[in-house]
Amino acid sequence: MSFEPINPPQFPTPIAPYSAGTKADGTVYVSGTLALGPGGTILHPDDAEAQTRHVLETIKITLEAAGATMADVAFNHIFLTDWAHYPAMNAVYAEYFPGDKPARYCIQCGLVKPGLVVEIASVAHIG
C-alpha cells in the first residue's frame, strides 16, 4: 500500500524525520503535534490552554491539506506531561469537537522538550 505525505508549506521543518501527516486509502494520519515554531522553538511554554489550541489548529491545517476536516477525526491520541493540564486541555478540545466526539485516550508522559505540555496525534476517515 502506498501513501501520500502531507506537509503543509506554512509549517516549519519537522524536528525529526517525519511528515506532518499521511493519507492512505481514505484515512488521514496526523503525526504527534506539538506547539513548536520555526527551528523547533517552543510556543507558549508550560501553557496547556495555548498549546492545545495551537496543536489543534495545526492538526486542522494538516487535515484540510489532505481534504479532511476536524469532523472527520475518528480517534485522538493525547499526551500530557502533568494531569494538572487535563482540565485546560479538555476545555479547548471541546471547542474543536462540538458534535459527535471522536474516540481517544489520554496518558501522562514526558515530551520531547521541556516546556511542551500537550501533544496530540489524530486519525481521520474521509469518503
pLDDT at residue 14 in the model = 78
- Say what the pTM is: 0.95
Q: Structural domain boundaries of the chain?
A: 4-125
Query: Which conformational region is residue 56 in: left (phi greater than 0), alpha (psi within -120 to 50 degrees), or beta?
Result: alpha
pLDDT at residue 106 in the model = 98
E runs forming strands in the chain:
4-6, 21-24, 27-33, 73-80, 103-108, 118-125
Q: What is the pLDDT along the chain (127 residues), one digit of tens a residue?
A: 699 999 998 887 777 899 999 999 999 999 999 999 888 899 999 999 999 999 999 999 999 999 999 999 999 999 999 999 999 999 999 999 999 999 999 999 999 999 999 999 999 999 7
Fold annotation for 4-125: 60s Ribosomal Protein L30; Chain: A; (3.30.1330)
Q: Are strands 4-6 and 21-24 parallel, antiparallel or unpaired?
A: antiparallel
